[in-house]
Amino acid sequence: MTKRTFGVIGLAVMGENLALNVESRGFPIAVYNRTSAKTEQFMAERAQGKDVKAAYSLEEFVQLLERPRKVLVMVKAGGPVDKVIEQLKPLLEPGDMIIDGGNSLYEDTERRTQDLEATGLGFVGMGVSGGEEGALKGPSLMPGGTASAYQELEPILVKIAAQVDDGPCVAYIGRGGAGHYVKMVHNGIEYGDMQLIAEAYDLLKLGAGLTNPELHAVFAEWNKTEELNSFLIEITADIFTKMDTETDQHLVDLIMDTAGQKGTGRWTVMSALELGVPVPTMYAAVNARIMSSYKDERVAAAQEITAEVGTFSGDKQTFINQVRDALYCSKMCSYAQGMALLRKASQEYNYGLDLGEDARIWKGGCIIRAGFLDKIKAAFTENPDLPNLLLAPEFKQSILDRQSAWREVLVMANQLGIAVPAFSSSLDYFDSYRRERLPQNLTQAQRDYFGAHTYERTDKPKGEFFHTQWME
Ligand code: NBP
């Protein structure tokens, strides 16, 4: 039997579909799953007639692979990844490589890369986005880690990745945990996008009284615009058309308003706090999901605090257009935060990220795919040292053209009593970032007053610190 080009460990949703994707591009594969029944099921139900060989022990699996061995580990993130690596390590030989395609924390990936590189093995921590369908038909891939291992893998990865007008949605991201870091921030941006869409929905449904068919029409229309055309807007439009077969009501109205989360949004915010990068839109999105989980308390509070939610009474089409502009402005701020975080992480962790290329590989396959990413790529191609996306001429002008609509939407939301935390945080970000002087002079005075923390003066050179005896 000819040796297999590629091996996949872990046959849950993602592993199964990625394995079939690799096989469909002409690469013979070997598969292994801890629970043999799952392997048998996969072979019987999905691998019939395909160039797939199943192994029922890791020893057998490793022997099936041609050298240097390429092993994709697609198991639950965290402890299971370490367990599989520890079991594989003694079975592999120098030059072989392990790819972790799960949603691993970048710090774990950093540790694993160092550990495996020291033994002569290659390790590629690879962010994979696109869910089940992306995995099968073409995901966005964010591989980082051992550069020489990536070179070996590239011919396979460029074939299995989503293809867009300017190439496959994969590129070597950078050393160590860079791939998983970029995937994490991608997910943080996804949280922001989803929350902004939810707020637009709330304003239009609760505030302006749009019906589900009307909401469908609005989102379908927005999806045709250059600014908002994206996978998330497209599926949002679709969601408003789905009827529940049991009750014949709109399914979206029957879905419980408590959002789940698996942690990558929280990780993004935690990393941003550690690196000192403001990401208020993503933070608002994570908080909104947490607040939504307090369902019982909210139901009880609604009985106690009975402030009415107002109804919008002006021209609906004007309001719809203003919400569209507010959504776009907020989205630009959210991406500005995400890219600024990547920039800082790249400096701090020596990732050597190419921000334009990172935006490009999100154009296909993944959840945040959008026409708008072309503009981000163009902005960083024109100026790779751009400190913030808001300073790129295209983004700056787009916001200045729309900011009055954005402000009016926020005034209206406040008057109606509809919470729009991500819209508000985005505007706060914009208004703070563009201010030459913020009120933190007072904060510094207070810190010096109660804690002798000292302050710098506007009329003296930077780096000179002063203390005042505030109390006479
Ligand atoms: P899961 O995250 O649900 O993991 C299930 C797989 O892990 C099974 O194959 C299971 O084997 C294996 N596993 C576990 Br649990 N513990 C193990 C251990 N100690 N040793 C060996 N194998 C073990 O699978 P998934 O949803 O396909 O996701 C895989 C990874 O991809 C995750 O990190 C996930 O976050 C990431 N991801 C998921 C998506 C998505 O849309 N689902 C998208 C992008 C990335 P068993 O069958 O023997 O229990």
E strand or H helix that includes residue 49: none
Spans of all domains in the chain: 6-176, 183-433, 439-472
Mutate to test the pocket of ligand 1, among 8, 13, 14 (most ligand atoms within 8 A of CB): 14
Q: How far is the CA of 397 from the centre of ligand 1 (A)?
A: 44
| pLDDT at residue 420, rounded to an integer | 98
pTM of the model: 0.96
Does any ligand 1 atom lie closer than 6 A to the CB of residue 346? Answer: no
Distance CA 383, CA 395 (A): 13
CB of 133 sitting under 6 A from ligand 1: no
Take atom 7 of ligand 1 and give the residue whose Cα is closest: 75
**Three-state SS at 454:** coil
What is the C-alpha to C-alpha distance for residues 105 and 181, in angstroms, rounded to an integer?
8
Nearest protein Cα to ligand 1, atom 16: 80
Residue with the smallest CA separation from ligand 1 atom 35 is: 103
DSSP H helical ranges for 119-247: 131-137, 147-160, 178-202, 212-223, 231-239
**Residue found under tokens 């995400």:** 338
Structure confidence at residue 2 (pLDDT):
86
State the Cα–Cα distance between residues 38 and 17, nearest whole angstrom. 14
Query: If you search the block for the tokens 């991608």, which residue do you land on?
Result: 186
* CB distance 82 to 107 below 8 Å: no
pLDDT at 262: 86
Query: Residues 358, 342: contact at Cβ < 8 Å?
Result: yes
25 Cβ closer than 6 Å to some ligand 1 atom: no
Which ligand 1 atom is nearest residue 35's CA? 48
439-472 — its CATH code? 1.20.5.320
pLDDT along the chain (472 residues), means of 10: 94 98 98 98 97 98 98 97 98 98 97 97 97 95 98 98 96 98 97 98 97 98 97 98 98 96 94 98 98 97 88 95 98 98 98 96 93 95 96 97 98 96 98 98 98 98 98 88
CB count within 10 Å of CB 374 equals: 16
Residue of 75, 129, 182, 184 with the most ligand 1 atoms within 8 Å of its CB, for mutation: 75
Q: Are 151 and 136 in contact (CB under 8 A)?
A: no
Considering only CA atoms, which residue is closest to atom 4 of ligand 1? 76
* Polymer length of the chain: 472
Contact 127, 141 (CB under 8 A): yes
**Residue 190 among the catalytic residues:** yes
Among residues 53, 70, 183, 375, the one annotated as catalytic is 183
CATH dotted code for 6-176 = 3.40.50.720
The pLDDT of residue 100 = 98
Residues 317-339 as b/e (b if ≥16 CB within 10 A, e otherwise) read: eebbebbbbbbbbbbbbbbbbbb
157 close to 189: Cβ distance less than 8 angstroms:
no
b or e along 272-306 (b: 16 or more beta carbons within 10 Å of the residue's beta carbon)?
Answer: beebebbbbbbbbbbbbbebbeeeeeeeeeeeeee
Determine whether 183 is an active site residue. Answer: yes
Ligand 1 proximity of 102 Cβ (cutoff 6 Å): yes
Q: Any idea which fold 183-433 has? A: N-(1-d-carboxylethyl)-l-norvaline Dehydrogenase; domain 2 (1.10.1040)
**pLDDT at 402 (0 to 100):** 98
The percent helix, strand, coil of the chain (3-state, each to 5) is: 55, 10, 35
Per annotation, catalytic residue among 16, 23, 110, 190: 190
58 Cα–ligand 1 center, Å: 17
Indicate which residue's Cα is closest to atom 18 of ligand 1.
80
